[in-house]
Amino acid sequence: MAETLRPDVLIVGGGPAGLTAARSLRRLGVAGVLVLDREEEAGGIPRHSDHLGYGIRDLRSVMKGPAYARRLVDRAQQAGAEIITSATVTGWAGERSLLATTPSGRIRFDAGAVILATGARERPRAARMVPGDRPLGVFTTGQLQQEVHLRHAEVGSRAVIVGSELVSWSAVLTLRHAGCSVALMTTEFECPEVYAPVAFAGRALLGGPLARATKVVRIIGRNRVEAVEIEHLVTGQRRMVACDTVVFTGDWVPDHELARSAGIDLDPGHRGPLVDTDLATSVGGVFAAGNLLHPVDTADVAALDGRHVAASVVRWLGDGPASRSAVRLVAGDPFDWVAPGLIGDHMVGPPRDRLLLWSHQAQSFPTVVARQGGAIIGRRTLPWPVSPGRVFRVPWSLVRRADPLGGDVTIGLN
């Protein structure tokens, strides 16, 4: 081991969540705040997301991803946080000790507290178990954007986009930039997954049709993609769509390797760490923030997680271990998960006083209901819709009346 460093707080991941946590911790008076990122530059996913739509809730401005990433890096550094890049955290050496590989050797970090902010990634083709040939020309949005914006590589000329989440529209923009037309966008849902206005603006951009209730069932092409076979989920009808590029978008998984290898409890719904409203994990002094906890919300929400978790970490550094709450928030129908999954000890709300949920069904003007021990403890009708492929935000006040000793609280739709 080349050396051991002893920061007060070690943050793994220098994306919006980690960088914002670092700045906030410094501003709350924590002396040694260190951010590690495995990339050559910190900033996380926005670094390659060369379009507007960043910074709205946290920086109160609208910027492009790369500029936003640089701003967050600058702000963290100006506040006195140290950032080490090209540092890949590979595992644990103790409860709050981590090991990293860097070009100047292996480093051990013994920290007072740890924040995991490792983000999320899209499920690639194999994880979605799409059979067929294995030709060139199959991407995730993440890879596509790096190919185009970082390497200026050529993609194909005719693409099929799998998914119609927010990120899928980002893929449309990138393909357009690269001069690749869209033959088809598919979604397994009956309705597209984004707000009508985005979808409306997007339709003009898309240029190709959107196939609903449709699944890609096979990829064809020995060397380069030649076509995909799609199936209509209701009629069962199948047909071929000629294309030379396939982009698998959305379908996020948290990058939870470090969390799992520490034995941290995971939420069975999103498979990120199970945290309370303090964003504390089941291991003392280890916290989590950002898309690792809610795959996937926008960058500003991840950043505001960072601000929130900083206060919790400061409390932990001062008071030490707190007892862990027993009230579990459970996703009821039609939700797959709710984050955070536990009500915290301090009875403070979650970041932005919002619970985040993920649904597999759409509904406008939804009425959300919270139940504990058979009784309804909260009910809200919300003006914004529930839609698959996009985080649904619910005011924390829905569960404020939860009894700390009353057992699980289930959140569902009326």
Partner 1 sequence: MTTFGEMLMYDVAIIGAGVVGCAVARELSGLRMSVALIEARGDIGDATSKANTAILHTGFDCVPGSLESAMVARGYRLLGDYAPTVGIPIEGTGALLVAWSKEELDTLPKLALKALENGYDACEIIDSEAVYRAVPDLGSGALGGLTVPGESIICSWTTALAYATEAKARGCTLLLATAVTGVNVGDRVTTLETTGGQVQARWVVNAAGLGGDVIDRMFGFDRFTIVPRRGELLVFDKLSRPKAPRIVLPVPSSKGKGVLISPTIYGNVMLGPTSENLTDRADTSTTEEGFAFLLGKGRSLMPSLLEEDVTAAYAGLRASTEHSDFVVAASGEKRYIRLGGIRSTGLTASMALGEHVRTLLGEHGVTPGVRDVLPEPPRMPNIGEAFPRPYERDDLIDADPLYGTVTCFCERVTEGEIRDALQSAIPPRDPDGLRRRTRALMGRCQGFFCGAQVAALMEGPRAPAEAAHG
Ligand X SMILES: Cc1cc2nc3c(=O)[nH]c(=O)nc-3n(C[C@H](O)[C@H](O)[C@H](O)COP(=O)(O)OP(=O)(O)OC[C@H]3O[C@@H](n4cnc5c(N)ncnc54)[C@H](O)[C@@H]3O)c2cc1C
| Dihedral sign, Cα of residue 302, residue 347, residue 402, residue 377 | negative
State yes or no: residue 134 binds partner 1 (CB under 8 A): yes
For residue 397 the two structure tokens come to 């006040």
The continuous run of DSSP H or E covering 242 comes out as strand 238-242
Complex with ligand X: residue 26 or 399, whichever CB lies closer: 26
Is the CB of 90 or the CB of 363 nearer to ligand X?
Answer: 90
- Strand pairing of 97-102 and 88-94? antiparallel
Number of residues that bind ligand X (CB under 6 A): 37
Residue of 82, 133, 336, 353 interacting with partner 1 (CB under 8 A): 133
- Nearer to ligand X among residue 297 and residue 345 (C-beta): 297
Site residue total, partner 1 (CB under 8 A): 43
| Residue 397 neighbours by CB distance under 10 Å | 13
Q: Does 82 bind partner 1 (CB under 8 A)?
A: no
Q: How many H-runs (helices) and E-runs (strands) does the chain carry?
A: 8, 28
Q: What is the DSSP string of 330-353?
A: EE-TTEEEEES-B--TT----GGG
- CA pair distance 54, 24, nearest whole angstrom: 19
Instruction: Identify the bridge partners of residue 370 per DSSP, sorted by sequence position.
Output: 378, 411
Label the pairing between strands 158-162 and 63-64.
unpaired
217 binds partner 1 (CB under 8 A): yes
Question: Are 113 and 313 contacting, i.e. CB atoms less than 8 angstroms apart?
Answer: yes
Task: Give the nearest distance from C-beta 387 to ligand X in angstroms.
Answer: 16
Examine residue 254 and tell whether it contacts ligand X (CB under 6 A): no
Query: Which does residue 375 bind out of partner 1, ligand X, none, counting CB within 5 to 8 angstroms by kind?
Result: none
**C-beta of 64: minimal distance to ligand X in Å?**
9
Question: CB of residue 338 vs partner 1: minimum separation in angstroms?
Answer: 20
Can you give the binding site for ligand X, defined by CB under 6 A?
A: 12-18, 36-39, 44-46, 49, 53-54, 88-89, 117-119, 141-142, 145, 167, 170, 255, 258, 290-291, 296-300, 302
Can you give the binding site for partner 1, defined by CB under 8 A?
A: 1-2, 38, 40-41, 85-86, 88, 90, 101-106, 121-127, 129, 131-134, 139-140, 142-143, 146-147, 150-151, 153, 217-218, 222, 253, 257, 260-261
